[in-house]
Amino acid sequence: MDITWLGENTFKINDEVIDVLVNPKSKTFDKTSISENTIFVNTDSSDDIENKQTRIESPGEYEISNASIHGVANSVIKDQDRSISTCYRIESRGLSVAVIGKIGSQLDSEALSVLSSSHAVVFSPDNSNIDSEILANTIRSIEPRKIIISGYDKSSGKPSKNLDGIIKVFGVKDFEPKGKASFTLSSLGDSQEIIILEN
């Protein structure tokens, strides 16, 4: 399975069977890279792309194109407005990835029962709804083997401010940012690995 960060809060998750775009925006990816099998998954708001792709935008259980996708809600309260950020567990060929949106609080027991023990967790640290420590503890509670974090700017050679904050909470001192996180069931290993994605 390959996970790529396309910018902002947009990720591409694919293997030989599935092709998922998380939070696609017209400015974050090349429209020619999508196929009729590409699934759009939105954690926080609808995309701004007009086409006929299959879209998942709310909590629930879905079986699409050989992928099992289970979405759970997380409440966000901001300036007295209440909204929902949906977190997803995407499973394909025995591998599972938890996709964490811009959550507003720690995961409740229902969300944890769905997301826990996912092989990998992918998220953007640029979340103004929750502080870095609570976000990091939430990710730890899922107990993944791979923690995949976006936010390294390849052109400037620097992490974003929020990425800098979250890697300090995780205790990461030295890292080599990657263009893509790739793993298989056999390559997961026994210890937890933190992967920083660049764009």
Mean pLDDT score of the chain: 93
| Helices 161-170 and 132-142, axial angle in degrees (round to 10) | 50
Contact predicate 33/20, CB 8 Å: no
pLDDT of residue 65: 77
The Cα-based distances of 82 to 43, 125, 192 in angstroms read: 15, 21, 34
- pLDDT digits over 52-81, tens only? 789 999 999 999 978 899 999 999 988 788
pLDDT of residue 84: 93
pLDDT of residue 35: 85
pLDDT of residue 76: 93
- Angstrom distance (rounded) from CA 124 to CA 174: 19
Regions of the chain short of the pLDDT cut 70: none
| % of the chain surpassing 70 pLDDT | 100
- pLDDT digits over 100-121, tens only? 999 999 999 999 999 999 999 9
Q: Which two tokens stand for residue 33?
A: 């890279």
pLDDT of residue 169: 96
- Angstrom distance (rounded) from CA 92 to CA 68: 7
Predicted structure pTM score: 0.95
